[in-house]
Amino acid sequence: MPDPLVLTWDDLDRLVAVLADEAGRDYDLVLAITRGGLVPAGMLAYRLDLREILVAGVEFYRSEGGTHPEPRVLHFPDATLLAGKRILVVDEVWETGETMSEVLARVRATGARPVSAVLHYKPGRSRVAGRPDHYAAIVEGWVTYPYKAGG
């Protein structure tokens, strides 16, 4: 297993810059997946000059370790806020891909056009078909982001 990657705020800023260049600017709004996607989504919104940020509360990884059988959607924006829009869906990492896949399916069900964006993509751990539309870097090991408690 690779050594854990510990990011600084400067590292995070560089990754967000890469992701912004990769993702482009053709979006109506940003949808942040909690909790990990909140900070990158806000940083991306500044770089892409997007002022509307919505939040999808999703829990897959348990605080005590392990995962739930499937992602648990705790709250989600009303369909009227999403319908017909091109939405940049942001999370920190695509590990199994299950959280992002669940959110993308829900966004599509509203009639919106979602595009996925993550800081880190872990292709060796993904358990879903496909991959993120945009990512800043590929990693395999654990990543500690500077905004995490105790990080």
Instruction: Encode pLDDT of 67-94 as tens digits.
Output: 767 888 999 999 999 999 999 999 999 9
Specify the amino acid at residue 86: R
Instruction: Encode pLDDT of 18-73 as tens digits.
Output: 999 999 999 999 999 999 999 999 999 999 999 999 999 998 776 777 776 788 89
Identify the CATH number of the domain defined by range 5-144. 3.40.50.2020
Total residues found in the chain within this entry = 151
Helix, strand, coil in percent for the chain, rounding step 5: 25, 35, 40
Q: Is the peptide bond before 72 cis (omega within 30 degrees of 0)?
A: no
Query: What's this model's pTM, rounded to 2 decimal places?
Result: 0.92
Give me the half-sphere count of Cα atoms (radius 13 Å) on the Cβ side of residue 127. Answer: 8
Nearest to 37 by CA among 21, 53, 18: 53
* Confidence at 151, pLDDT banded by 50, 70, 90: very low
Cα 118-123-125 angle, rounded to 5 deg:
105
Percent of the chain with pLDDT over 90: 83
